[in-house]
Amino acid sequence: MAFHHVRFPLDIALGARGGPERRTDVVTLAGGGEQRNGREQRNGRWAQSRRRYNAGYGVKSRADMQAVLAFFEERRGRLHGFLWRDGIDYSSGGKAPTPIDQAIGTGDGTRTGFQLTKTYGAAFDPYVRMIAKPVTGSVLVAVDGVEVTTGWSVDVTTGIVGFAEAPEEGAEVTAGFLFDVPVRFDTDRLDIEWSNFDAAEAPSIPLVEILP
């Protein structure tokens, strides 16, 4: 298997449905007296959320279905991963990134590599998500609130920002960016129904996020 650094057709992706999934075990207590009956114990089995999408909702025409068919065949079904644009969640802080959107680390005088991340929530229990597929040319970086335009680069296959010289100890490193989600097809079969000459119905084209 391999990862193909190519994006699923954007106009189809923006009409799709999907979002994050988590796995939680919920046990309803039945013993221990009346005070415990009906209470729950919950255990989160996944440390990271995993996104799932259905691209079938974005298929509006025969041309769309032909584009999906070609993309599916080139990926060999579930074999190879690819890039997916989440129409709701694709930016570090808003539609237009700024270099102070997300804190990605603190300098210690020797560290030169910083992983792009996006934080969801505030002080109560924030979730930090690794961003491995930033969009080429979209990444902005700042050190202690001052934008840095030279002396660093980003690997768009891993999301790691590398500095030529390590930021000073205690310096806050921040970044802004657009990003895609690494996914694969979650089926080896396309079940296509031709409804008329210029339209097709694709009940389900499931995709699942490839976690780092």
As a residue count, the chain comes to 212
Rounded to an integer, what distance in angstroms lies between the CA atom of residue 2 and that of residue 27? 39
Q: What is the DSSP letter of 57?
A: G
CA 31 to each of CA 37, 38, 78, 162: distance values in angstroms, whole numbers, following the listed order: 6, 9, 45, 55
Structure tokens at 128: 């930090």
pLDDT for the residue 37: 65
Residue 116 has pLDDT above 80, yes or no: yes
pLDDT band at 62 (very low <50, low <70, confident <90, very high): confident
Structure tokens at 108: 């210690």
Structure tokens at 133: 């597929």
Please enumerate in sequence order all residues whose Cβ is within 8 A of that of 113, keeping only pairs 6 or more positions apart, or say none.
Answer: 160, 161, 162, 163
Of 191 and 134, the one with more pLDDT: 134
Strands 3-7 and 102-106: unpaired
pLDDT for the residue 201: 65
Supply the pTM of this predicted model: 0.91
Across the chain, mean pLDDT equals 92
Contact 58, 68 (CB under 8 A): no
Mean pLDDT of 129-137: 98
Residue 7 has pLDDT above 80, yes or no: yes
Segments making up each domain of the chain, as ranges: 1-90+181-212, 91-179
Of 40 and 9, the one with more pLDDT: 9
pLDDT band at 32 (very low <50, low <70, confident <90, very high): low
pLDDT for the residue 36: 58
Q: What is the pLDDT of residues 142-189, one digit of tens each?
A: 999 999 999 999 999 999 999 999 999 999 999 999 999 999 999 999
Of 204 and 81, the one with more pLDDT: 81
Q: Say what percent of the chain tops pLDDT 70.
A: 92
Structure tokens at 28: 């309803």
Mean pLDDT of 79-96: 95
CA 84 to each of CA 25, 167, 184: distance values in angstroms, whole numbers, following the listed order: 29, 32, 9
Angle at 100 between CA 99 and CA 102, to 5 degrees: 110
Structure tokens at 146: 């001052």
pLDDT band at 198 (very low <50, low <70, confident <90, very high): low
Buried-exposed string 109-132: b where 16+ CB fall within 10 A, e elsewhere: eeeeebbbbbeeeeeeeeeebebb
Mean pLDDT of 45-60: 92
Contact 15, 58 (CB under 8 A): yes
Helix spans in the chain (H): 10-13, 62-74
Residue 195 has pLDDT above 70, yes or no: no
pLDDT band at 106 (very low <50, low <70, confident <90, very high): very high
Helix spans in 99-207 (H): none
